[in-house]
Amino acid sequence: MAEDKKQLRRAAFKQGVRHWFRQFLESFLAVVPIVVLIVVIYFTGVIPREEFSPQLLVSFVICAFAIVIGLTSFNLGSNQSMTRIGEIVGETLFKRKNLFIIIAMTFILGVAVTVAEPDLKTMAGQIGCSELLLILVIGIGVGIFVVIGVMRILRNKRLNVLFLAFYAIVFALAAVVNPKFLPIAFDSGGVTTGPVTVPFILAFGAGLAASRASGGRTGDDSFGITALASVGPIIAVMVLGLFMDVDAMVWTPNLPDPASYSSWSSFWPFFAQHIGEALLGQLKNVAFAVVPLFVLFLIYNWIFVRMPMKRILQIFVGLIYVYVGLVIFMSAVECGFLPVAQQVGFAFGDPSRPSLFPLAVGIGALFGLFGVLAEPAVHVLVRQIEKVSEGTIRSRTVLIVMALAIAGGVSLSIVRAHYQFPILYYTIPGYAVALGLSFIVPKIYFAIAFDSGGVASGPMASTFVMPFCIGFAYANHGSDSVYSDAFGCVAMIALMPLIVIQFLGVYAELKRQLVYQRARKRFIEPNDNQIIHFAEDDA
């Protein structure tokens, strides 16, 4: 008996090690392409050494490794805590048959998971206004629209009609909101659906679909909540912009101090102090985000579920992993990724070297391409599309099309930052095409496409692509242009999948109909359309 227990513990330990290694590998693959590209840029000498010193490169590589560790810890804990909480609430909440409780708990949990979102914290720290106010407003927007997503399922409303109405509100507000604030509003819809919010909402929707399966609901009800959660922040931030003195906002560059990175003797003390200060700050900030979520879950469990203590402890351990991972991730982003990304963007945006502009467009495309190819959630999405299309659309095809489309979206953001035209030149026709396609494609493709926008705008978008665009715009036109010209790149990353996946849905339907048409022709004989009349013999 004792030997059997030892074998079980040994097997569980090996399984845990394999799972940790898989998560580490996924996180490593998400970060290493960006690191390789930065190393190549450094050694080609495109950026002068006084702007990109070897000390700065070393700090970037160290922080990149820390980001891999942080993402690994976060992903391990998220699967065990955020996803489990979403599943439990989704499966049990709708059995209460109390509409007030359903709305209240859905709203509170929607706000709580948004406040804990690392992508949102990264963006909020680059804007220059009150981070707490911005995060709370975005959280309220997510909470309200998650409730709307749930009510849509309960009331059996069409998703594309809701999107048509909500995006009409978005573009009506865009006509009166300060243009300086518009790109921030559109970006907020992409960064909120990140590694915390997406697993929770997807699990929440799956739990809801499972709890209502006996009512004849279809599986596509589990899609679309994430997409609605992306609309809420856009509207909420636009409303906030109506009451803010946007013109008084001042953006502060986060470029590295050349004196701190000029020699090895001055670099190490500065880097150690910088990391220490970042860790101390993030220990408090992340606790403020994670602890309320766990307290809310404990209250919900005590009132409605009464889970055994062992399962609660497992969720608590998962949240510890999430906490540690977020602290490491946010500290490394603050000390390494953001300054280097802004410095690289600043160097490529130097107006005295206009020949670098085409190269900046290409580098931006590579950042978008690598970010999509290395994002684990994207690979989950493309496999899902292949399953839904019954193999008509191959996962490899979807991945390549998405990667190329998002690479193009980042390039368009660099072009916009250079020529300084409004983001509405992209978003109005882009969303018009996406919403128009929603009335043509099967609703499952439409729901997946709009959900995929949040999946594509992962951690690399807010930690590297956005700072790169900010640095580029700052070098081109100064700090006054950063808000209107640099922000909006995450919105472009979130917009492109909405269009390309629906086009793939149209292609799949046309291909399926062509196959059925050819099959029918094979079974129809030349004289099948003749009508033969049989008459009785009177004789």
SS3 of 414-457: the string is HHHHHHCCCCHHHHHHHHHHHHHHCCCCCHHHHHHHHHHHHHHC
pLDDT at 106: 84
Residue 16 in any domain: the answer is no
pLDDT at 381: 67
Q: Closest Cα partner for 402 from 390, 410, 392?
A: 410
Residues near 171 by beta carbon (within 8 Å), at least 6 away in sequence? 424, 427, 428, 431
The answer to whether residue 523 scores a pLDDT higher than 70 is no
pLDDT tens digits, one per residue of 2-18: 666 667 667 767 777 78
The answer to whether residue 369 scores a pLDDT higher than 90 is no
Mean pLDDT of 399-423: 89
pLDDT tens digits, one per residue of 15-37: 777 877 888 887 888 788 888 98
Asked if 27 and 377 touch (Cβ cutoff 8 Å), the reply is: no
The answer to whether residue 194 scores a pLDDT higher than 80 is no
Mean pLDDT of 38-48: 88
In terms of average pLDDT, the best of 147-156, 190-199, 383-392 is 147-156
Query: Which has more confidence, 325 or 461?
Result: 325
Sign of torsion, CA 126 479 130 183? negative
pLDDT at 234: 93
Least confident segment among 188-202, 286-300, 406-420: 188-202
Q: pLDDT-derived band of residue 210, with 50, 70 and 90 as boundaries?
A: low
Query: Which has more confidence, 364 or 95?
Result: 364
Residues near 233 by beta carbon (within 8 Å), at least 6 away in sequence? 138, 141, 142, 185, 188, 189, 192
In terms of average pLDDT, the best of 74-88, 178-192, 207-221 is 178-192
> DSSP label at 263?
S
Residues near 232 by beta carbon (within 8 Å), at least 6 away in sequence? 141, 142, 143, 144, 145, 146, 148, 189
Q: What is the pTM of this model?
A: 0.82
The answer to whether residue 460 scores a pLDDT higher than 80 is no
Least confident segment among 138-142, 223-227, 330-334, 405-409: 223-227
Asked if 441 and 510 touch (Cβ cutoff 8 Å), the reply is: no
Domain that holds residue 214: 44-516
Kindly tell me the burial class for residue 137, based on how many C-beta atoms sit within 10 Å of its own C-beta (0-12, 13-18, 19 or more): middle
Torsion-angle region of residue 173: left (phi > 0), alpha (psi -120 to 50) or beta?
alpha
Kindly tell me the burial class for residue 308, based on how many C-beta atoms sit within 10 Å of its own C-beta (0-12, 13-18, 19 or more): exposed
Residue with tokens 């907020």: 188
pLDDT tens digits, one per residue of 491-517: 898 898 889 888 888 887 787 788 777
pLDDT at 62: 92
Residues near 318 by beta carbon (within 8 Å), at least 6 away in sequence? 76, 77, 78, 79, 80, 81, 82, 84
| Amino acid, single-letter form, for residue 345 | G
| C-beta neighbour count of 471 within 10 angstroms | 29
Q: Closest Cα partner for 345 from 372, 368, 365, 363?
A: 363
CA distance linking residue 506 with residue 239, whole number of Å: 36
Q: To the nearest 5 percent, what fractions of the chain are helix, strand and coil?
A: 80, 0, 20
User: Is residue 330 classed as helix, strand or coil in its secondary structure?
Assistant: helix
Least confident segment among 229-243, 259-273, 340-354: 259-273
Our measurement of the distance from residue 336's CA atom to the centroid of its chain's CA atoms, rounded to an integer in Å, reads 21
Count of structural domains, the chain: 1
CA distance linking residue 520 with residue 136, whole number of Å: 58
Q: Closest Cα partner for 189 from 453, 484, 497?
A: 453
Residue 481 in any domain: the answer is yes
Asked if 94 and 177 touch (Cβ cutoff 8 Å), the reply is: no
Residue with tokens 């072009």: 415
pLDDT at 25: 85
Residue 22 in any domain: the answer is no
Residue 68 in any domain: the answer is yes
The answer to whether residue 432 scores a pLDDT higher than 80 is yes
Sign of torsion, CA 55 56 57 58? positive
Residue 189 in any domain: the answer is yes
Residue 197 in any domain: the answer is yes
In terms of average pLDDT, the best of 75-84, 439-448, 466-475 is 466-475
Give me the percent of the chain exceeding a pLDDT of 70: 86
| Amino acid, single-letter form, for residue 386 | E
CA distance linking residue 88 with residue 438, whole number of Å: 31
Least confident segment among 68-77, 367-376, 484-493: 367-376
Least confident segment among 221-225, 242-246, 278-282: 221-225
Mean pLDDT of 339-358: 88
Residues near 245 by beta carbon (within 8 Å), at least 6 away in sequence? none
Query: Which has more confidence, 269 or 255?
Result: 269
Average confidence score pLDDT of the chain? 81
Residue with tokens 């007030």: 100
Instruction: Give a three-class secondary structure readout of 149-217.
Output: HHHHHHHCCCHHHHHHHHHHHHHHHHCCCCCCCHHHHHHHHHHCCCCCHHHHHHHHHHHHHHHCHHHCC
Residue 377 in any domain: the answer is yes
The answer to whether residue 119 scores a pLDDT higher than 80 is no
Residue with tokens 């603050």: 334
pLDDT at 425: 92
Query: Which has more confidence, 391 or 55?
Result: 55
| Amino acid, single-letter form, for residue 267 | F
The answer to whether residue 476 scores a pLDDT higher than 80 is yes
Residue with tokens 């859905």: 106
CA distance linking residue 234 with residue 239, whole number of Å: 9
pLDDT at 216: 46
Give me the percent of the chain exceeding a pLDDT of 90: 14
Q: Closest Cα partner for 371 from 22, 31, 73?
A: 31
Residue 463 in any domain: the answer is yes
Mean pLDDT of 230-250: 87
